[in-house]
Amino acid sequence: MVMQRREFVRLMGAGALSLTAAPYVFSKPIDGGADPFMLPELPYADTALAPVISANTISFHYGKHHAGYFSKLNKAVKGTKHADMTLEEVVAAAHKDNNGGLFNNAAQAWNHTFYWHSMKAGGGGKPSGKLADAINGSFGDFDQFTAAFSKTCGGQFGSGWGWLVQDGAELKVIGTSNADTPLVHGMKPLLVIDVWEHAYYLDYQNRRGDYIAAILDKLVNWEFAASNLG
């Protein structure tokens, strides 16, 4: 399909909020016909992250969970004021209106797209340039950042997410529960790890710490994180 700008903007929320004005390089959406929101394609093959994250995990996590959030989101917004909003606007509106059902599906649709882009084959290592300077400025050095990020991701009770965010001039690591997202807390996401059990249980069972360490070591997409730095 030829992607229309309106669809791209709606999906990505480019410029919808000042928080997210950075030009995210999200992958193009899969044609969803008449659906207001379209699941973006994975930015790599489903085998690309193996053996850290198997194609089997991705088949369920992307193909069932992420797709499912889009499916429920589309059912919820059809024929409502939310159908013409960007995804980020739906997240913000649902949060403001205390519409938990809509918020959960919209935020999970957004969070997962951000998660897929937070990783790449041959990632890991250390950031460079301005992002490295910002990390050193906020955490002391890269090892202290890694320790703080690993602790936050590993210590998140139950389902949720571990984020590196920009909060004003500071970088912080924060955990959010369930579908909660820094977008509605005035913070700009730079990087995320999904720590719901569905993200790692097929490959790591209960060893969440091993999953987090392997992502940091082999998959983190520091170029994506740097591109989000405002």
Residues at the contact surface with Mn ion, assessed by CB under 5 A: 194, 196, 199
And the tokens for 185?
């807390």
DSSP label at residue 39: P
What are the φ/ψ torsions at residue 74 (nearest 5 degrees)? Answer: -65, -40
Tell me the one-letter amino acid at 208.
R
The residue of the chain with the least Cβ separation from Mn ion equals 194
Give me the least distance between CB of 138 and Mn ion, in Å please.
Answer: 27
Q: Which is nearer to Mn ion, 139 or 196 (CB)?
A: 196
Q: Which is nearer to Mn ion, 24 or 60 (CB)?
A: 60
Q: Which is nearer to Mn ion, 138 or 221 (CB)?
A: 221
Give me the least distance between CB of 9 and Mn ion, in Å please.
Answer: 25
Q: Which is nearer to Mn ion, 183 or 199 (CB)?
A: 199
What are the φ/ψ torsions at residue 190 (nearest 5 degrees)? Answer: -110, -35
For residue 105, count CB atoms less than 10 angstroms from its CB and return exposed for 0-12, middle for 13-18, buried for 19 or more: buried
Give me the least distance between CB of 126 and Mn ion, in Å please.
Answer: 26
Give me the least distance between CB of 66 and Mn ion, in Å please.
Answer: 7
Residue of 7, 164, 188, 179 lying closest to 84 (CA atoms): 7
DSSP label at residue 171: E
